[in-house]
Amino acid sequence: MQILRLCLEALLLREEAYSQMSEASTPFLKGFLLIIGVGITISLVGIIGETLEWATIPSTEEIRKVVLEGVRKMPWYKEMAAEAPEALERLDLFLNMIKFITPNPWRAVINVVTTPIAFLISWLVYSFLAHIFARILGGKAKIAQTLGCTALAVSPQLLKLAKILPYVEIGGVVGAWTLACNYLAIKIAHRLSSGRAFWATFLPFIIISLLLILLIAGGVALAIATIGALGGKP
């Protein structure tokens, strides 16, 4: 119950919650349990919302038929069928992918496992980087204190409980709220000034973004090189 109380207070951006987590005897363990608990809770609620959406929309096959009938009535369809039939094959492939973007209760069930794991990974990676930058900037907290406090930044995910209602979308408010929670977590745990806490909070995102860009660029370069090598074969 104490963890739940701290989570709700952290959601309201109350500094006392982060202070109590920082001073707790086992901040890492409490943070770990909080991450797992929130991940499982919103996933279970998501099953209800996803099932209600699935039950109230037409089947994917019916949607596919309606879209395909509409496309066939367009003036360019016959011309494309004669000049570029391969394009129509790609269109049919795209329409078959509708099943992957429509509500699916079974996909929501899988989220009960994947969501907590995703939360854990992002929490550990972000907290490790934020801890390094905070220490460089003069922070005083131990890694366990950083992990415990940043775990409270999962609290805005509780807003997703609203998705128990079908077709409810939260938007970007969760991301912005999470940033605010991380800022308070780093500032209070490491006893940093506002400016230093700001940089310790945002630098991990900058580093992660740069790494992702490098990975994508490397993958594209590798794909181009592979295609070029295959194309050059006799």
Q: Averaged over 186-191, what is the pLDDT?
A: 95
Does residue 93 sit within a domain? no
Does 28 score more than 70 pLDDT? yes
The verdict on residue 92 lying in a domain is no
Note whether residue 216 is domain-resident: yes
Which residues in the chain belong to E strands, given as ranges? none
pLDDT given at position 233? 47
Indicate the number of domains in the chain.
Answer: 1
Rounded to an integer, the average pLDDT of 196-203 is 95
111: containing domain: 2-57+103-231
From 8-12, 64-68, 79-83, 169-173, the region with the lowest mean pLDDT? 79-83
Q: Is residue 96 part of a domain?
A: no
Q: Is the pTM of this model over 0.85?
A: no
pLDDT given at position 80: 61
What's 153's DSSP letter? G
Query: Do residues 48 and 94 touch, judged by C-beta distance below 8 A?
Result: no
What confidence tens digit (pLDDT) does each residue in 70-102 have?
A: 666 766 666 666 666 565 566 666 666 666 666
Distance CA 20, CA 222 (A): 49
Task: Classify each residue of 105-141 as buried b or exposed e, where b means 16 or more C-beta atoms within 10 Å of its C-beta.
Answer: beebeebbeebbeebbeebbebbebbbbbbbebebeb
Measured CA distances, 126 to 85, 168, 186 (Å): 48, 28, 11
